Structure 1
Amino acid sequence: MDSKRYFIELSYNGTDFHGWQTQPNGITVQECLDKALSTFFRQEVITLGCGRTDAGVHATEFFAHFNLTAISDKQVANSVTGINSLLPYTIAVKRVFAVADDAHARFHATARAYKYHIHFSKDPFKLDRSWLYKGGLDLEAMNQAAKVLLNFTDFSCFSKSNTQTFTNNCKITEAYFEEEKDGLVFTIKADRFLRNMVRAIVGTMVLVGKGDISVADVAKIIESKNRSNAGQSVPACGLYLVAVEYPFIKND
């Protein structure tokens, strides 16, 4: 029987999950989503996500694709409420829609954007949603260092070791810090990201903000291609995947 491919857009609070991808040692977003979709559509559904967020990382915009057989467009169009009723409150489906049979949530994404949130004063409402940093940071120096990222493509120094990637090259098009009430938000956009890359970049930018390293040192760290030369990875709680772009999807 012929199957049709669909995209699903969702968001999730990653605090209680061991990341996106299904694994044997902990509950994941993909596991919960696949179970809900399989139950609702009454057939086995296996999703493939636009990326793999780590444990504790959040997503305000995330896409996955999956195939269905013998399902009408009307059933799909009316599925969001039913699927959401089967999911924990920490996962919310926004829409489900048909795409071309070869559309791929991971490989056809042309850009992704993340934000990392830092706050400076203890706030119970930011627990597990932002990183509490106790100290001052030089915003201007951090933004100068962030601009350095735009001059490079090989970011091996910010990648987790022993990853199965064919290249460590990424094209970063945006990278900057902005002030918000009692904190900072780092925004970064690129065609692709390496595992742990954003958290390692923020950790390195914080070293600049503290005055431990200079803006010029950031270029040397990138040129070294050595992970041990970069800063420590900041906690997962402050990281959000906020946008994924596709040539065939009009993002609101």
Structure 2
Amino acid sequence: MERNIALKLMYNGTAYHGWQVQKNAVSVAETLEKALATVVCHPVKCTGAGRTDAHVHAETYVANFRTTSTIPCDRIPLAVNTRLPKDIVVVRATQVPPEFNAIGSCHRKEYTYRIYNSRLGNPFYVDRAWFYPKHLDEGIMQQAADQFVGTHDFRAVRSVGTETRTTVRTVYYFNVERRGDLIESRVCANGFLYNMVRAMVGTIVYAAEGKLAPEDIPAILDSGNRTLAGPTVPPGGLYMTQLWYDEDVL
């Protein structure tokens, strides 16, 4: 009998070209599928919670796959982890209903972007936070971030890539917090466009630099013009940090 298994995992994305399987590059999905196949003794296709870009990390991620193997769920994480590189770890495996789909069943997602904001770099944040030596005012960043909250057309803060039916999304919160030299921007939405979080962070950094005012952002969103918003910040500071499901998979 075929089972549908959901995996909760985490990964450091530095060595990978994102989640999605690609022809000429190493991906998280392909690495995980190969490890799973050796455990369940048949080819495996994983569906992931979202297409994280190259070098982006996940503190929380969910993927599901189907298997005819009878291996108990509580044994899957250890069995798979011994076959995975150290930068991908499966935390939990749960049997879920046949209709469960890691991306389709996800109601909302949270990404966190980390900026190491200090005059001097920190070797422990290399590829894990964006080193930004000029002081940023997190208060202005928060004022700018508030402008993105709500239901809007987010065309102005996406890179051209995967085509979607609509560019309208709902952002539930966009919170900026400083802890010492680390600035964390947490953004939660019902879905994200290609590079949307990184472009939103680039825009609030532009606001802190005085290159645009927080109150300019609604007009930028209305324009749909990508060139009016801030730059797409580097991928190493971005983490998928929370996911919301009805099923108990986390």
Give the TM-score normalised by structure 1: 0.95
Alignment of 1:26-37 (within 5 A): 26-37=25-36
Aligned to 2:108: 111
Distance 1:151 1:92 in 2: 34
Cα distance in 2 between the residues matched to 1:59 and 1:95:
15
Deviation per CA, 1:36-71, whole angstroms, max 9, x where unpaired? Answer: 0000111111101010000110000000111001x2
* Structure 1 counterpart of 2:176: 177
**Paired residue secondary structure (2:110):** strand
**TM-score w.r.t. structure 2 length?**
0.96
Range that drifts further, 92-101 or 149-158: 149-158
Paired residue secondary structure (2:72): helix
The CA distance in 1 between the partners of 2:132 and 2:74, in whole Å, is 44
Indicate which of 86, 89, 96 corresponds to 2:86.
Answer: 89
> What SS is found at the alignment partner of 1:26?
coil
Judge which range, 36-45 or 153-162, deviates more: 153-162
Deviation >4 Å, runs of 4+: none
CA distance in 2, matches of 1:173, 1:62: 20
CA apart distance, 1:181: 2.0
Counterpart mapping for 1:187-206 below 5 A: 187-206=186-205
Cα distance between partner residues in 2 of 1:152 and 1:38: 41
For structure 2, which runs of at least 5 residues remain unmatched after alignment?
none
Distance (Å, rounded) in 2 between the aligned partners of 1:48 and 1:42:
18
Q: Which runs of 5+ in 1 are unaligned?
A: none
| Matched residue, 1:219 | 218
CA distance in 2, matches of 1:100, 1:228: 44
Which residue in the other structure is 2:135 paired with?
136
Change (3 A) 1:118 1:162: closer
CA deviation after TM superposition for structure 1 residue 78, in Å: 1.1
Q: In structure 2, what is the equivalent of residue 237 of structure 1?
A: 236
What's the Cα RMSD here? 1.2
How far apart are 1:75 and its partner, in Å?
2.7
**Offset at residue 173 of structure 1 (A):** 0.6
How many corresponding residue pairs?
A: 248
Identity %: 35
The offset of 1:136, in angstroms, is 1.6
Q: Which of 77, 80, 104 is the aligned partner of 2:77?
A: 80
